[in-house]
Structure 1
Amino acid sequence: MEKPRIIKKVFKSTQVTEGAGVKLKRAFGFSQTPLFDPFLLLDDFRSDNPTDYLKGFPWHPHRGIETITYLLDGSVQHHDSLGNKGVIHPGEVQWMTAGSGIIHEEMPFGNSKGSVAGFQLWGNLPASQKMIPPHYRNITREMIPEIHLQSGVSIRVICGKAEGVTGPVEGITTDPEYLDVTIPAGRTWNHPIQEGHTAFSYIIAGKGYFSHNTEPFSFDTEGVSYFDMETGPLMDNETLVLYRSEGDHVHVSTENSPVRFLLFSGRPLREPIAWHGPIVMNTRKELQTAFEEYNNGTFLKEHQADT
């Protein structure tokens, strides 16, 4: 590891309302998507207030994407047009490949104290896989390896590889990496990233320095450029750090407090995007066809069951 990634842009998550009235924080999505190829959006649905999430996400379609739900607390019940039913528990991941089309519902429920905490990432599918049969990867807590380094750094490997340990989700075209990393106070961690892959970190607790920048970068919500030759600015909760594509590793350090963050990377598709609501295709014509099929009852393919 010779060349650390430097920060391209920093985003602060913003509140949006989705589903039947769920209040959540969006780290990125829609107009920012070209910067994050092959990823489409990242939602943070942590809340201690049941009125924020109990209305949930009633029946809705998806086509052309993958949705990756990672739960830290509470639960999410799901039901779909394939006839699947289940519950996502704390520490678990549901990796859903919508492919040619699926209709499902997701209903969050809080723990005994009324809290729910999780994240949903959307990954784009290449044109060659937009219409593959839909399927799931249900990843239990026990399936996700957790690494504990002598430095005190801990890493949950959902997808990709860290410290020579490979996560349970493999065989994804964009070669994604998804890590849940905690660094104690006063420590440093370096992690290799494939040259040219999109990479970003989303801070979910504490504070940390996410680059030794040698050039200014912009802060999305304020339009301000930062520059610090020594440590760079201190990043805290609900902040997303997008790295430039050059460099072979990310460098993260802490001072007086620990930090916990999600680290993502993946190979860009560099394909056109036609996106409306829960469906993402490559052309407007494909998008129009998807909604016409949804409206006329021919959306579901591959012998799926009717809802």
Structure 2
Amino acid sequence: MALSRISRQVAKKVLAVETPEGDGALVRRSIGSMKLRNLSPFLMLDHFHVSKGAGFPDHPHRGQATVTYMLEGSSRHEDSAGHKGIIVPGGVQWMCAGRGIIHAEMPVHEAGSPDPRGLQLWIDLPKQFKMVEPSYQELGPTEIPTAYPEGPDGPVKVKVISGKSHGVESPVRPLGGCWYFHAIFSKKDATVFQDIPAGWTAFIYTLKGSIKVGSEPIVHEQFYTLVLSGDETETGVQITAVDKDAEALIIAGAPLDQSVVQYGPFVMTSREEIQATLIDYQLGKNGFEKAHKWKSVIGGL
């Protein structure tokens, strides 16, 4: 017997205000801001805009995964493990920092092309995966599968970056549960219901236009993060487009029963682990062997 569809509702609403970040970039941060510090397993959500001359030069990470999803323009990346490439519009990079890596993320600016814009999500790694070797899962725009809840000619399509939507599954395999969808509407009042596992933390980011959530009449405008309720009877979330070109991200993850102790780009579960990380980085060991020798090419351009 199929489960009845009962939608989650909006439990908290936070506007992502644009602020400076990195070397001249602008970001709209919601998760990770003072208004929304803790949303396990999610640590940070930045909607970024990188103008010419700006970027994110060489910097380290440990203990989290970073997911970069490009909306417009392209971004180069290069790291201390020898991995490098370009994330193009519609592409995604799922980087598991694990025990330690140093990398650079720099925009590509070309005549006639828009400034790079996209989203970066930080996801806490389960304690048992904090010290794994760094790894990448990358998908170009044609490699991200798309679900059509009402068929290819219907008013809604869902890009399945990770997880499962309407019978379509992404090849991305995160360490720890995480589903990531981009819902795109082509018609006013179009509706989609996305299943979400019971007990998972879930939120929506209103990327373009306005939407309604569940049975509530409240209209949610662009650039808001909507934290969803998590009652055991709720099987997913219903989203209705208020504007014909509305777009929204739907992201959900298994919450972690562990402490979060963060020092900049290092995310561990205790102060002692952070202190050990700082020593590792200072001495260039346990994942940071190249910390004081490696310099990216793109970070100095």
> What is the TM-score normalised by the length of structure 2?
0.88
Counterpart of 2:246 in structure 1: which amino acid?
V
Question: CA deviation digits over 1:148-173, x for unaligned, max 9?
Answer: 33431011101000111001202x24
The answer on whether the counterparts of 1:203 and 1:239 sit within 8 Å (CA) in structure 2 is yes
Secondary structure at the aligned position of 1:235 is classed as coil
202, 222, 235: which one pairs with 1:248? 235
Query: What is the identity, as a one-letter code, of the residue corresponding to 1:245?
Result: G
Q: Detail structure 1 runs of 4+ shifted over 4 Å in the superposition.
A: 301-306
Residue pair 1:197, 1:267 contacting (<8 A) in 2 also: yes
Indicate whether 1:119 and 2:88 are aligned. no
2-structure distance, mates of 1:163, 1:302: 44
C-alpha contact 2:31 2:42 (8 A) present in aligned 1: no
CA contact (8 A) 1:27 1:238 kept: no
Task: Please name the residue that 2:69 is paired with.
Answer: 70
Tell me by how many angstroms 1:299 deviates: 4.9
Contact map agreement 2:199 2:230 (CA 8 A) in 1 = yes
What letter matches 1:101 in structure 2? G
Give, as a single letter, the amino acid of the residue that structure 2 aligns with 1:5: R
Gaps of 5+ in 2: 295-301
One-letter code aligned to 1:104: H
Give how far 1:3 is off.
Answer: 2.2
User: What is the match of residue 190 of structure 2?
Assistant: 187
Aligned-partner residue type, residue 243 of structure 1:
L
Q: Distance in 2 between matches of 1:300 and 1:18?
A: 26
Q: Percent identity?
A: 33
For residue 277 of structure 2, give the secondary structure of its aligned residue in structure 1: helix
Deviates more, 1:297-306 or 1:260-269: 297-306
CA contact (8 A) 2:124 2:267 kept: yes
Q: 1:201-220 counterparts in 2 under 5 A?
A: 201-213=204-216
Distance 1:253 1:57 in 2: 36
Report the Cα offset of residue 301 of structure 1.
5.6
- Relative to structure 1, the CA distance from residue 273 to residue 283 in structure 2 (aligned partners, 3 Å threshold; closer, same or farther) is same
Supply the distance in 2 between the matched residues of 1:137 and 1:44 (Cα, whole angstroms): 21
Contact 1:160–1:166 under 8 Å retained in 2: yes
Partner deviation per Cα, 1:212-259 (whole Å, 9 max, x = no partner): 24xxxxxxxxxxxxxxxxx2x111110111101111110111245331
Paired residues in the alignment total 283
What does residue 180 of structure 2 align with? Answer: 178
Distance 1:56 1:164, change over 3 A: same
User: Partner amino acid for 1:158?
Assistant: I
Partner of 2:28: 25
Q: What is the match of residue 289 of structure 1?
A: 276
1:13 equivalent in alignment to 2:11: no
Give the gaps of 5 or more residues in structure 1: 214-230
For residues 33 and 263 of structure 2, what CA distance do their matches in structure 1 show?
Answer: 9
The aligned residue for residue 103 of structure 1 is 102
CA offset digits 1:180-234 (Å, max 9, x no partner): 1012212111111111100101011111102324xxxxxxxxxxxxxxxxx2x11
Give the Cα separation in 2 of the matches to 1:132 and 1:251: 37
**Cα offsets for 1:99-156 (capped at 9, x unmatched):** 0000011001245244221100001001111000111111111211122334310111
Paired with 1:70 and 1:21, the residues of 2 have a C-alpha distance of 20
What SS does the aligned partner of 2:155 have?
coil
Backbone CA RMSD of aligned residues = 2.0
Distance 1:12 1:306 in 2: 40
C-alpha distance in structure 1 between counterparts of 2:81 and 2:272, whole Å: 26
Question: Following TM superposition, by how much is the alpha carbon of 1:179 offset from its aligned partner in structure 2, in angstroms?
Answer: 0.5
When the two structures are superposed, what TM-score results if normalisation uses the length of structure 1?
A: 0.87
Amino acid at match of 1:269: L
